């Protein structure tokens, strides 16, 4: 079974699970109804093709999820402190970060995680250069800026370890090679 079919089966299973959860009980009728509605949705409202590249590494994904939970908790505490502390409002800013993530799908997942961390919001993505522009709530000190970049680099390393290891990387046959994108080249960052 090729990768695209695996993804389509996964989407159908997910739609079926959502259907069953919406009805509130597991029964043969609900499962069959969910499969029927899922197939109908996939036929009438197809998603654009997304290349599935690389391989999944479950242990790295577990570490990634754990780190995301830690970062979200730390960031939530920092945002709460910034909201109640005496003194002026924190200095905010937009920081640029170039990522070495190759796959558009994995880049999207990484951006989603960055958006879930309180105090950050991705404003723009340069898909060709693999550069994201992120609004950060606290950039008032070099320590805060360095912490943001350390967080992004750690997430990037775990996303690559989870989905895009170089020794297992298999670009999709219809993935267009972009000579402007070199994942090993990075712009200087603080």
pLDDT at 16: 95
Whether residues 98 and 7 share a domain: the answer is no
pLDDT of residue 99: 94
Q: Kindly write down the DSSP assignment for every residue of 138-189, as one continuous string.
A: --SSHHHHHHHHHHHHHHHHHHHHHH--GGG----TTPPP-TT--TT-----
Within a domain: 164: yes
152 in a structural domain: yes
**What is the model's pLDDT at position 170?**
67
Largest CA distance in the chain: 60
- Domain hosting 120: range is 58-168
**24 and 73 fall within a common domain:** no
Q: Check residue 82 and report its DSSP letter.
A: H
**Same domain membership, residue 145 and residue 99:** yes
d(CA 131, CA 184) in angstroms, rounded, equals: 13
Same domain assignment for residues 80 and 148: yes
38 and 66 in a common domain? no
Spell 46-67 as b/e; 16+ CB within 10 A means b: eeeeebbbbeebeebeeebeeb
Residue 38 shares a structural domain with residue 115: no
Q: Are residues 135 and 99 in the same domain?
A: yes
The C-alpha atoms of residue 40 and residue 5 are separated, in whole angstroms, by 16
Decide if 99 is inside a domain.
yes
Domain count, the chain: 2
Is there a domain that residue 74 lies in?
A: yes
Same domain, residue pair 110 and 164: yes
71 and 8 part of one domain = no
Same domain, 138 and 85: yes
51 assigned to some structural domain: no
pLDDT for the residue 50: 67
Contact present, 11 and 18 (Cβ < 8 Å) = no
Residue 124 maps to a domain: yes
pTM for this entry: 0.70
Note whether 112 and 34 are same-domain residues: no
* Residue 144 to residues 4, 84, 88, 115, 118, Cα–Cα distance (Å): 41, 18, 16, 17, 14
SS3 83: helix
User: Residue 122: in which H helix or E strand, if any?
Assistant: strand 120-126
User: Does a structural domain hold residue 111?
Assistant: yes
Q: How would you class 100 by CB atoms within 10 Å of its CB: exposed for 0-12, middle for 13-18, buried for 19 or more?
A: middle
In a domain, 100, yes or no: yes
The pLDDT profile of the chain, 190 residues, written as one tens digit per residue, is 576 788 789 899 999 999 999 999 999 999 999 999 999 999 999 877 766 677 788 999 999 999 999 988 988 898 888 889 888 888 999 999 999 998 888 898 999 999 988 889 999 999 889 999 999 988 989 999 999 999 999 999 999 999 888 777 666 665 555 444 445 545 545 4
C-alpha–C-alpha distance, residues 74 and 131, integer Å: 25
Domain co-membership, 36 together with 95:
no
């Amino acid at each position: 079974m090729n990768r695209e079919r695996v993804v389509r089966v996964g989407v159908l299973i997910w739609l079926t699970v959502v259907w069953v959860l919406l009805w509130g009980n597991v029964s043969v009728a609900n499962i069959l109804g969910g499969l029927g509605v899922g197939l109908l949705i996939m036929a009438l409202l197809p998603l654009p093709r997304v290349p599935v590249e690389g391989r999944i590494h479950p242990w790295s994904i577990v570490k990634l999820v754990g780190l995301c939970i830690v970062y979200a908790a730390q960031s939530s505490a920092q945002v709460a402190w910034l909201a109640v502390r005496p003194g002026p409002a924190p200095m905010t800013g937009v920081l640029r970060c170039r990522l070495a993530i190759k796959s558009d799908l994995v880049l999207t997942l990484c951006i989603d995680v960055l958006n879930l961390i309180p105090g950050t919001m991705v404003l723009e993505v340069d898909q060709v250069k693999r550069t994201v522009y992120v609004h950060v709530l606290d950039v008032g000190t070099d320590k805060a800026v360095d912490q943001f970049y350390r967080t992004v680099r750690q997430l990037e390393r775990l996303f690559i370890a989870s989905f895009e290891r170089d020794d297992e990387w298999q670009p999709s046959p219809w993935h267009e090679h972009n000579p402007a994108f070199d994942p090993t080249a990075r712009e200087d960052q603080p």
